[in-house]
Structure 1
Amino acid sequence: MLQAPRMSDLSTDVEQTTNRLFRVYNHYRVTVGIILVSALYLQNPSSVSQYLSPFYFEVAVICYLAIHVFTGFLLLAGFRPELRHAMVSVVLELLLISAMLLCGTGVSSGLGNMVVISVAAGNIILRGQLGTLLAAIASLGVVSQEIYRMVAQYSDVDDVFRAGILGVVYFATALLVKNLSIRIATSENLARKRAQNILELERLNHQIIQRMLTGIIVADEKGGVRMANQAAQSLLSVDDSHELTTLPEDLLHRLQEWQNDPSKKTTPFRGSANRAPLQANFAILQKEEGQDILIFLEDTGKIAQQAQQLKLASLGRLTAGIAHEIRNPLGAASHAAQLLLESPELTPPDKQMAEIILRHATRMNGIIENVLSLSRRKVSSPQMLSLIAWLTDFVCDYTAAGTRDAEIEILPLKKDIQGRFDPNHLNQILNNLVGNGLRYSKQESARSWVKLVVGEIEETGQAFIDVIDIGPGINEDQLNHLFEPFFTTDPKGTGLGLYLSKELCEANQAQLDYLTRQEGGGCFRITFPHPKRAI
């Protein structure tokens, strides 16, 4: 939430400004005091005879320097004067100057001009009515001492008149400086408030950028990273303890492609082998000098999920009509083939043909069932699952359903592994993957064996399940078409099992990949979404 500037912050800034001005002014007074003391001991003895009281004049000059030197040491020691301290200090200075005028040669000495600077400085430091009070004290001090000197026959009426003129100058200086200081203070407060608002807006923008799910990177033209939000670091699998300083090679390559042809849309790339592909979009960020590149990274997993929902909705409407038109005649053909097989008069060649008809009718019915189950499935309802316990229950249910000869091993690589997934979808995926693994293992080695390895990727903290078999594996030609619909290496298969499993994984923002094993066999990996990612 954006907060307005606090008055305590503004008052603190005012105090800091006052302390800084007072410190500078005290340096001036120390310098003047040194000059006065030096002049006191270097002046002609004949001029001292014109003083009203040379001794007290000397005392006033030395006190002037000593007090301000002592004030300087207090400031160096960390003393922070308040307004009342500054007021007392300036009033004491005015009294000491008045004492110098009284004990010296009066306004004719020119020391009265120092009061103008003191009044001006006092109005800048104190501001308000206190500045006018200083002008009044200074005027009374100069005029009263000159009247006393005239009574003591050390000055004349002209000197009193000059003292009155100086009093008017003091008031004029106070009024002028006060108005200027008020304007300056108003400008300072306005600038301070604007700076505070800009700072708060900058903090707000920083929080918004850091909380965005879209990765945002600000980079220079050569690929050096100036800023990257948390989503970008997560999508690129950069550890939070490390700072992203340069663009990854794949992203840098796409930046160079975009720089060569800004109208061309770059192809997606993988931030890591265990994450969905990323789509990078680029924009120029103009600056006063040069330009930076603004990079937006979007996780194609969510985009694919939305596209999948639209695709399934269209597929559902299409398959509903096709199923209605095909299943009835297909069921009739299948039933007729079954009746034909029961006929005792059927010759062996005709019986073989009837079995082919029944087998292909059954296969076509399986294809329709798979397509309907894909198009009619509900939106995923992911839950946080304890994968080891869930797999244990799955294996018990699977073997109890008629596959008691199956050997299914569970190998946990870590305790208490959590994964977010729809349990119904995960059950359907593993039924297909484990069934395929058992079937191909038995074909290759006459042993129905599958191992389920449960682990966690160290770089990203994502859970995974590997379904490993001892079958013939998948060659490179088959791998390119493995997850395409209706592609199968089993003559009796429909070619929709892996496609359906892939779609269910994407609906849960998970990944299904095939991993090549050097020791032979096949391995399908389900990579779960990060447990902190909202689906």
Structure 2
Amino acid sequence: MSTSLYPSLHKHSLSLPLESGITAADYTDQYWRSLYYFNCFRFVIGSGLLIVSWQSEFASLGSYHYQLFLYAGIGHVLFSSLFMLLIRLRLPGFNRQLAIQVISDIAFFSLMLYASGGLQSGLGVLLLVSLAGAGLISRGRLALFFASIATISLLLQETYSLWTIDHYAAQYSQAGLLSMAYFAVAWLAHRLAKYTLASEQLAKERGIDLANMAQVNQLVIQDLQEGVLVVDQYGYIRQRNAYAERLFDLNSSADKAERLKLSDCIPELANRLTSWQGDSSISFDLLRLAHSNALVRTRFLPIQADSRNGVVIFLEDMGRIQAQLQQLKLAALGRLTANIAHEIRNPLSAINHAAELLEEEQLESNTDPRLVRIICDNTRRLNKIVQDVLQLNRRNIAKPDLIDLHEFMRKFLEEFCHAERMDRNVFVLRSPNHHWVSFDRDHLNQVLWNLCRNAWRHCCKQADSVRIELSLAANENNVYLDIVDDGPGIDSQQVKQIFEPFFTTAAGGTGLGLYIARELCETNQASLDYIEGSSGGHFRIICQSNQSCL
């Protein structure tokens, strides 16, 4: 039921475009259904009178003119049968059909009343039932009109009986009382219809208000920065927000159209819910989702006092929370490193300038040139550290772009080998398919440059010594980019330290290359790991696959 169909209800409800589940067509169907049942009642009454009139103990029915009574009864039954078809066709309109049926009842019952000898037959009471039913069906609008027609017909029948039936004792007082009963029933039906309409109006308002509240709740749930699932007492998911759909891959239109059972689509979460319902004080470890490998913290809140009557499940993606904390940490670290780098660069410039002056004067003096070279080398090393630190401070500014890894790696290897003057045959790209990812091109270029330079340094420098392998993860949500070389690998005792800042095993290295590479990957919602193997380890970048471009 849209609020636009009932403008008078807007002042009682929020002005939101809602559907409360009942439409105007539903109320139209209810009216016609009531008229159909009323007509069935008329058919039963008419048929019953015909059957009863054949029994000798009810000789008063049709006692004066049985043939007229029979014709009137048959006409009433046929008329009722005809209207069963017209009601299904809904022709003519509702009010017109109701008026025709009630007036036909008055006419046929008046004829049967006359054929049975007048009011003493008791048939006049049957009109009370018809008037009451008509008043309720019409919501009281025509009840008094029908009562007036019935009263006029009753008085005319009584007068005509007095003129045509010999020795007929007129019963105007009884006719008057029966007419008063007609109006009383019509008035009661009118009042009852008003109460019914008021109840319907109130039900409509409450329905709109409840629908508004439901939509407001849904809007609030959708706006939450965590996943929300509302599960009923039978284990079915009644509501969910977009964040939960992304976490559990429930965003298909088919899933939204049908009721999902928690145990069918998320069995690991259903097991936790069952355990929590048995003991609400229990604490759970982080839940790792099988399809996305994400870590989720679960929180259960009962809808009512009894947790088995429904529960709200809150789902926090720890990866997102950790990313936010990482951003805050890096923002503070960035400000600190920028200040430190600035303070280092000023005296460093002075040292470098002094070293240059010493180098110019070494020919005129006996100064050992090694000392000057040591000063210059360490000055350049410190300057490289300062540049890396400043670059690390700017690394959180990412401009992700859709990248075809196959084409990107092909062009990168050509550029890298040309710039570093390396043999192109040492590097081989293995990518049977095209894989699209979202990544900042400059960041990815910097990460690969660092990793490929390390691979070149430690490989045997033969054909295909360094392999770049692209593959799709088993869950089809991630893409693996592996940089594999035929070198000895990293010592197992040093693996845990390689991503720490300022850790290096190379002479003259700054120890920031792998640390910055991992930070750049995390900025682009990716990860950089070292994978150990039996024949030596290799580095792996895990990116989120953008399957819409595949």
The reply to whether TM is greater than 0.5 is yes
Which amino acid in 1 is paired with 2:100? V
In the alignment, is the contact (CA less than 8 A) between 2:60 and 2:117 conserved in 1?
A: no
Which amino acid in 1 is paired with 2:392? L
In the alignment, is the contact (CA less than 8 A) between 1:304 and 1:506 conserved in 2?
A: no
TM score, norm. by length of structure 1: 0.82
Does residue 298 of structure 2 align to residue 280 of structure 1?
yes
Give the match for residue 30 of structure 1.
43
Does residue 110 of structure 2 align to residue 110 of structure 1?
no
Give SS of 2:420's match.
coil
In the alignment, is the contact (CA less than 8 A) between 1:514 and 1:523 conserved in 2?
A: yes
Q: Deviations over 1:184-239 (max 9, x none)?
A: 02311331343255346546655764686632223579988665445324324568
Does residue 258 of structure 2 align to residue 245 of structure 1?
no
Unaligned runs of 5+ in 2: 8-21
Give the match for residue 5 of structure 2.
6
Q: Deviations over 1:489-525 (max 9, x none)?
A: 5454333222212222222222223334455441312
Structure 1: distance between partners of 2:277 and 2:387 = 45
Q: CA deviation at 1:183?
A: 1.9
Moved more, 272-281 or 353-362: 353-362
CA 1:234 to 1:459, structure 2 compared with 1: closer, same or farther past 3 Å? farther
Structure 2: distance between partners of 1:37 and 1:253 = 70
Give SS of 1:473's match.
coil
CA 1:44 to 1:316, structure 2 compared with 1: closer, same or farther past 3 Å? closer
In the alignment, is the contact (CA less than 8 A) between 1:87 and 1:126 conserved in 2?
A: no
Q: CA deviation at 1:101?
A: 0.8
Q: CA deviation at 1:395?
A: 2.2
Give the match for residue 509 of structure 1.
525
Moved more, 315-324 or 359-368: 359-368
Percent identical among aligned pairs is: 30
Equivalence map 1:165-184=2 (5 Å): 165-184=177-196
Equivalent of 2:420, from 402, 422, 429? 402
Give SS of 1:297's match.
strand
Structure 2: distance between partners of 1:47 and 1:426 = 104
Q: CA deviation at 1:61?
A: 1.9
Moved more, 423-432 or 521-530: 521-530
Give SS of 1:385's match.
strand
Structure 2: distance between partners of 1:258 and 1:369 = 56
In the alignment, is the contact (CA less than 8 A) between 1:516 and 1:522 conserved in 2?
A: yes
Moved more, 419-428 or 68-77: 68-77
Q: CA deviation at 1:115?
A: 0.6
In the alignment, is the contact (CA less than 8 A) between 1:10 and 1:189 conserved in 2?
A: no
Q: Deviations over 1:283-302 (max 9, x none)?
A: 33326773434222233344
Equivalence map 1:29-428=2 (5 Å): 29-44=42-57, 47=60, 51-72=63-84, 82-154=94-166, 159-199=171-211, 202=214, 205-206=217-218, 209=221, 214-219=226-231, 228-236=240-248, 240=252, 245-246=262-263, 247=266, 249=268, 268-272=286-290, 275-286=293-304, 290-330=308-348, 351=370, 362-377=380-395, 379-405=397-423, 407-415=426-434, 417-428=435-446
Give SS of 1:379's match.
coil
Which amino acid in 1 is paired with 2:132? A
Structure 2: distance between partners of 1:19 and 1:110 = 31
CA 1:475 to 1:149, structure 2 compared with 1: closer, same or farther past 3 Å? farther
In the alignment, is the contact (CA less than 8 A) between 1:120 and 1:177 conserved in 2?
A: yes
CA 1:254 to 1:313, structure 2 compared with 1: closer, same or farther past 3 Å? farther
TM score, norm. by length of structure 2: 0.80
Which amino acid in 2 is paired with 1:484? E
Q: How many residues align?
A: 524
Structure 1: distance between partners of 2:201 and 2:234 = 42
Q: CA deviation at 1:345?
A: 5.8
Which amino acid in 1 is paired with 2:3? A
Give SS of 2:303's match.
strand
Q: Deviations over 1:29-55 (max 9, x none)?
A: 23322321222110249657x833221
Tell me how large the CA RMSD over aligned residues is: 4.1
Give SS of 2:398's match.
coil
CA 1:279 to 1:408, structure 2 compared with 1: closer, same or farther past 3 Å? farther
Structure 2: distance between partners of 1:318 and 1:159 = 111
Q: CA deviation at 1:430?
A: 1.5
Give SS of 1:526's match.
strand
Q: CA deviation at 1:154?
A: 4.9
Unaligned runs of 5+ in 1: none
Moved more, 233-242 or 316-325: 233-242
